[in-house]
Chain A
């Protein structure tokens, strides 16, 4: 019998397996009859990604797409639309070449534009799906909101403005609904985490500085992504605003917007709108809030005046602030979960004033999101620096000249740390001119990581104190236990250090003891249980065996381990080893941190 050729396929027989299921990128482009750039664009817009076939029929250096993915693209209306656009562009080009300017201008005024709603709906059939994928979208939009427009790179001014507007709209929604959960100031920018409809959405906003546009970046790819993201965020914002009964494309006060307080303008708009909608059924007994009045003074814009006129018409009596409370209470009862309530209350009854030098955009977003009232140094601010009711002034300068005694001057990091800890931290460490305590990431689970920084421990203690609980403090006398809050306020850092050291020691001892006991138990079982089952041995012998066991305890454990690893199948052994390696790496990292800390402490003590 002759041996078959390995890859022989009789004529007429269809392909099977990976050869039939996957095609290379160039094959896909050929099948779609479009250019590579268009193919890339479609892939980006439709969220189609290469696949990894088990067997790469065409070779290892190809990119493979699933046949069904490509077939799906082939029926895509967007592909048709892009072809149409291309044909249209040719018409314009032709008219220009013929110097038929009228025609060219006429054509240019009604250019076809692709609509992405179909693609977005297909990609995200449910709203939750869209929210789940919103991280990258928000990060990108926020990044482009601060980029400089560049004609050479085809980053248009309108695009930048649109990004800015969209990001403000998103932030305004978050502020309004108090959905912000965590903030982290990193070197790369400021990370925010919000929780919308149960989805944790994290995004990064760059610091408000001049951004550089590097050359080794393909901006057309980024702009394609941005196009999709702008549309996605627009639709998401629409839906979110719809949920809180606010008309979507919000009409903003251009003056405030010009003053770079777009977010403030927007949140005021939302406040006004949503309160209006709530107000309508019970228009008889209500009032004009403070903010609205100030708005009357500030705005000269026609639209806003009309709006205000309407508002005033609806709100006949003057009972400042009542409406706001009404609205808030109603909302609070209805839908808010525990977390939101907690967040809303964090800065309640606090009034903040921002100095010139602090990052205004971020703080204007963050403070109201946690229930604070905020103003800033500049035009359009709701209240001035001289206002007596201000409780905190956020300052980021080496020294503060004139100080009001009625308020505290703190660095902006205090705000962020308070938010992450969900308590009002003592301000001593954050006062003007001091180097603030370390700013810790709220995204890290210290327990899992295996290393708890000092300040995290401090915050934990403060949190416990705020909850009126007393954490069991080990290695500290009773008098400490009596009034932990006093002590905490006084000199918590040094104390916590001491506590921590003591605690660590205790923990280690405990662990050791436990470990020994466990081992003992095991050995007892191993050595004496069969005996005890059959013949009741005398206790003397039992103890003997214990002593004996302790001597070659290590040996026994090692033996056991080896026996088990020997009998593992190869697959599982690989996995086991990988896990072990990972753990070792983690431990090495933690050990390094500890080592550094020790070195730092040693240096400190040397100096002292």
Chain B
């Protein structure tokens, strides 16, 4: 059995080849077994076979225990065999244990085998007398000599005769112990290694300590502890060792005092119930703390259908919509995209749970809170209650008459005091007088320049028309009325040729009253373009406005005396229009932003009306004199009540450009009539 395996040449070869552990074990088990055969020669030959098998098992087991690095499979197989063996007869088991002991502890000398090995080694040292003593010298020097060195007495030690290879091979083939034989060059002999020596070698090869007893990781025992029983010096114990410490005593006193005072407590603090009835009687604690009003935080928004785990299908956006969210601005992007799970078990954890909660916390303590009125009103209630149009009736709905004849835009119209006639001035340079009821054109004057303003004299018995054309103002005889009237008018409109001389002494030297034969009237030559003409209620005075006239921008003319005077006030801003008060001697001058009201008798500024408009274009006074409206070019109309403040009572907005305003009295109700000529 296994003889072939034994023939492996020397041990060196085995170790050098790094044979698999398995084979080595086998070899060893076999060898050990064969050793035992020698030992147990006395035992009965019948049992021999069984024994061998058991031996194998036991050996392998013991090897495992000692070397403890065999592979698991080996262990298992051997374990299996071991268990099988333990079931077998007891006497053999006892033998096994003996063997194991011998293997485990090399010191035990009671084992016969180990004894024998030891004897061998001893005897070899004693018997082989001539030991080589050449010292640490290369053996190469003795290669050609017949001796290999010298023994202790100085005699030469001759070399033994070498076997040739064939012989040595045959010898090794015969001898099963051959693998553990080593040739010692130095002594020129063959040494057989004992089992223990091989074990030591194996351990060394594995990088372990050679001896089994050696414990690489001993438990550390500190021999030099401070309370060691071994005093370092022989000096006698000092006295202080026997007297109580002063400082300790002090400390103790300190502690005692602290404990007595209750500063130091050693017992655990008592667990008090954390909660109690905080809101005992609600009425008792009802009074509010004298503190600022507490605004409770708004509650978080309640979830809608789309937040459901299983919303209706229409709440789930399509893929295109989800893609389109990516293109959106981050703020507009919906924060929550509805998703559908078909069963409750498939809902995953919501990953933003903690974050949402945190954001809520931040809102609660970092956001300023403002109490805001909830807008829960019907939007219709915001709209002003306007009188329906039918209540405003009658107002012109249909076009009743058209006065056709002008070629250019009509800049201004004016009605005669009796209401029978109407005069109109146009950019085509003509002034026409129409009969209101029939639409017949009564008279035409041609000036060749755009007519800015037309104004009838307020007196019924004096049918005179004042017109501003460019830099001129004409006072015209319309030729209406009977002869008495005509005579009176003609008398009034007659200018002495000496007036220019009179003027020289007067305030406005740049102005001349000239008889205009062509148009049968008076022509007043101004030095700047005249924008507006307005009559005084008595029909004797009229005022003209020259926006570019600076200090002489507003002039007041007296028709009966053919006199002109400057308005004796400083004007702030560009005058636009001016009006006489209908009953009192009060004069309104509208500049671009404000309206100034002067008392002509007292020579005093009465009031300044602040319109707040950008560009005032016109002004009109109510016939009773207590209401004023001011129109502007941006389409706003300010309504002032003269008895109230200087701020507008109401501002109305129109889409159109306000050019010309007039008050009308109609059925005891007052309306503004807005006339727009463009």
Contact = CB atoms under 8 A, between A and B. Distances in A.
A600 interface: yes
Contacts of A128: 282
Given A413-B344, A453-B305, A125 B289 contact: yes
B310 A413 contact: yes
Given A40-B365, A187-B307, A117 B265 contact: no
Contact of A49 (B264, B300, B309, B368): B368
B129 interface: no
Contacts of B624: none
Interface in A20-79: 40, 43-44, 47, 49-52, 63-64, 66, 68-69, 72
Interface in B289-345: 289, 291-292, 294-297, 299-300, 302-305, 307-318, 338-339, 341-345
Contact of B353 (A143, A184, A530): A143
Contacts of A127: 279, 282
Contacts, number: 266
B360 interface: yes
Interface in A556-601: 563-568, 572-573, 575-576, 578-580, 583, 593-594, 596-597, 599-600
A52 B372 CA distance: 12
Interface stretch (B97-105, B381-389, B615-623): B381-389
A440 B305 contact: yes
A530 to B, nearest CB: 4
Contact of A184 (B287, B303, B357): B303
Nearest to B279: A127
B370 interface: yes
A206 to B, nearest CB: 5
Given A188-B353, A441-B303, A575 B344 contact: no
A136 interface: yes
B293 to A, nearest CB: 10
B302 A217 contact: no
In this complex, the member of B264, B348, B360 whose beta carbon has the largest number of chain A beta carbons within 10 angstroms is: B360
B314 A44 contact: no
Contact of B268 (A66, A109, A238): A109
Contact of B318 (A63, A218, A579, A596): A596
A222 B269 contact: no
Interface in A388-442: 396-397, 411-413, 435-436, 438-441
B644 interface: no
Given A214-B355, A530-B393, A441 B305 contact: yes
A106 B356 CA distance: 41
Interface in A236-275: 237-239, 242, 248-249
A221 B265 contact: no
Contacts of B318: 596, 599
B250 interface: no
A438 B341 CA distance: 10
Contacts of B273: 249
Given A188-B356, A439-B309, A566-B653, A221 B348 contact: no
A189 to B, nearest CB: 6
Contacts of B266: 106
Given A139-B357, A189-B350, A455 B312 contact: yes
Contact of A593 (B315, B361, B366, B652): B315
Contacts of A110: 265, 268-269
A126 B308 contact: no
Nearest to A604: B313
B142 to A, nearest CB: 73
A237 B292 CA distance: 28
A565 B383 contact: yes
A525 B310 CA distance: 52
A542 interface: no
Nearest to B655: A566
Interface of A: 40, 43-44, 47, 49-52, 63-64, 66, 68-69, 72, 106, 109-110, 117, 120-128, 130, 132-133, 135-136, 139-140, 143, 147, 184-189, 191, 202, 206-207, 209-214, 216-218, 221-222, 225, 231, 234-235, 237-239, 242, 248-249, 357-359, 396-397, 411-413, 435-436, 438-441, 443-444, 449, 453-455, 525-527, 529-530, 563-568, 572-573, 575-576, 578-580, 583, 593-594, 596-597, 599-600
The 8 tightest CB contacts between A and B, nearest first, are: A209-B349, A443-B302, A127-B279, A597-B314, A438-B312, A596-B314, A52-B368, A186-B307
14 contacts: A44-B365, A49-B364, A51-B369, A125-B285, A187-B341, A188-B352, A211-B349, A221-B361, A234-B275, A357-B345, A358-B345, A411-B343, A525-B390, A563-B386
Interface of B: 264-266, 268-269, 273-279, 282, 285-289, 291-292, 294-297, 299-300, 302-305, 307-318, 338-339, 341-345, 347-358, 360-362, 364-370, 375, 379, 382-384, 386, 388-391, 393, 652-653
Given A238-B275, A248-B275, A358-B345, 4 more contacts: A110-B268, A187-B350, A579-B382, A593-B315
